[in-house]
Amino acid sequence: MAKYTAIGGQALIEGIMMKSPEKTAMAVRKPDKTIDISYPAEINLRKRFAFFRIPAIRGIIAFIESMITGYKAMMKSADISGFTDLDEAEGTEKMSEKSKNTLTNAIMIVGTVLGIVLSVVLFMWLPSLVARGLQTLFSAEFSDITKASIEQLIKLVLFVGYMLAVSFMKDMKRIFMYHGAEHKTIFCYEKGLPLTVENVKKQKRFHPRCGTSFLILMIIVSVLFSTLVQLIFPGVYDFVYIWVAVKILLIPVICGVGFEILRICGKYDNIFTKIVSAPGLWMQRITTKEPQDDMIEIAIAALRACEPENPDVDRSVDGQESDDGEDLQNDDI
């Protein structure tokens, strides 16, 4: 890459949000085909409090901030784009704007709650049950470390399977195409090329700082921490409820460490970062798709709207790197 940049993004419903160290902007295609540019309010506790800029801690805060900002941006993009399943359904009467927004909010809230519950069940409880089931099935006594490793493998399989399944959904496929447009545009910007549709189309769609890479990194890092816990507290795995609680408590730590590794991978290009980035880049073959020209136009508009005043600054070497580092790029799922 010609230069390192702290710009990150998130695919939305018929749009893209881009965030630089200076501001956040989102571009969304309106029903009349024009592009709406807006600047979402930023939380950014890391700029306000030095404590939240401490390595590892900043990763946890960045993840929480990106989840909140991403949720609000997704809701706003749905409104601006005129997207609604109810309006597209045959025989469905036109709802008032207020009712539509209320219903959308309710659906998003319920979806979030169900998502959290399913995450705990699928990624915390189910892997433990399967690991114990395999031990019974083969009449073998696995070591705690082996069982913990089996759990992480199951998590990885579930994650990949989920991503693959949703990639076949029509609406998600379009979001994944916008995701590809986001990556390609950032690559074009990092290479110092003019931001044109033709230049962007030539770029790769797999970026080492993507949120997909972050999620894969969390699974890999969790293997290391699970092993460490097993070595420090032998036998803790035998207590199901305690082990699930430990895994939940480890999430912030794993998130923080994963964030720091992701920053390193996005900042440097060497054999270590290539090996660490490989699983996430492979997963992006599922979570990013080749975009259409009009999607690239949206990505370019979003990046230009948040571009720093000094776009040619190499923040990795001149001491001007943002304190909060680059934000996580959610995959809108």
At how many degrees (to 10) do helices 271-287 and 170-190 cross? 150
Please tell me the predicted confidence (pLDDT) of residue 84: 56
Average pLDDT, the chain: 77
Which residues are paired to 205 by β-bridges? none
Q: Is the predicted pLDDT of residue 121 greater than 90, yes or no?
A: no
Give the pLDDT mean for 192-219.
Answer: 85
Which of 33-42, 97-106, 188-197, 284-293 shows the lowest mean pLDDT across its residues?
97-106
Amino acid code (one letter) for 318 = D
Give the pLDDT mean for 51-70.
Answer: 80
Cα dihedral 121, 158, 218, 111 in deg (nearest 10) = -50
Please tell me the predicted confidence (pLDDT) of residue 123: 64
- The residue among 144 and 187 whose pLDDT is bigger is 187
CA–CA separation, 151 and 303 (whole Å): 40
Q: Is the predicted pLDDT of residue 261 greater than 50, yes or no?
A: yes
pLDDT cut 70: percent of the chain above it: 78
Please tell me the predicted confidence (pLDDT) of residue 107: 55
Confidence of residue 1 (pLDDT cuts 50, 70, 90): very low
Which of 176-185, 219-228, 296-305 shows the lowest mean pLDDT across its residues?
219-228
Q: What is the pTM of this model?
A: 0.75
Give the tens place of pLDDT for each residue, 292-327: 999 999 999 999 998 877 655 443 433 334 444 444
CA–CA separation, 162 and 166 (whole Å): 6
Give the pLDDT mean for 93-119.
Answer: 56
Please tell me the predicted confidence (pLDDT) of residue 4: 57
- The residue among 112 and 147 whose pLDDT is bigger is 147
Residue among 13, 70, 295 nearest 181 (CA): 295
Which residues are paired to 26 by β-bridges? 17, 38
Question: How far, in Å, are 9, 13, 84 from residue 30 at the CA level?
Answer: 19, 11, 13
Give the neighbor-by-neighbor strand order of the sheet with 24-29. Answer: 8-12, 15-19, 24-29, 35-38
Confidence of residue 113 (pLDDT cuts 50, 70, 90): low
Q: Assign 98 to helix, strand or coil.
A: helix
Residue pair 100/84 in contact by the 8 Å Cβ criterion: yes
Give the pLDDT mean for 249-256.
Answer: 83
CA 198-204-208 angle, 5° bins: 140
Amino acid code (one letter) for 108 = M
User: How many residues appear in the chain?
Assistant: 333
Give the pLDDT mean for 104-122.
Answer: 58
CB atoms within 10 A of CB 195: 16
Q: Is the predicted pLDDT of residue 177 greater than 90, yes or no?
A: yes
In the chain, domain spans: 8-87+95-306
Please tell me the predicted confidence (pLDDT) of residue 34: 94
Q: Is the predicted pLDDT of residue 104 greater than 60, yes or no?
A: no
Which residues are paired to 15 by β-bridges? 12, 28
Q: Where are the beta strands (DSSP E) in the chain?
A: 8-12, 15-19, 24-29, 35-38
Highest mean pLDDT among 30-44, 108-122, 132-146: 30-44
CA–CA separation, 70 and 75 (whole Å): 9
Residue 277 has phi, psi (to 5 degrees) of -80, -20
CA–CA separation, 265 and 273 (whole Å): 5
Please tell me the predicted confidence (pLDDT) of residue 115: 59
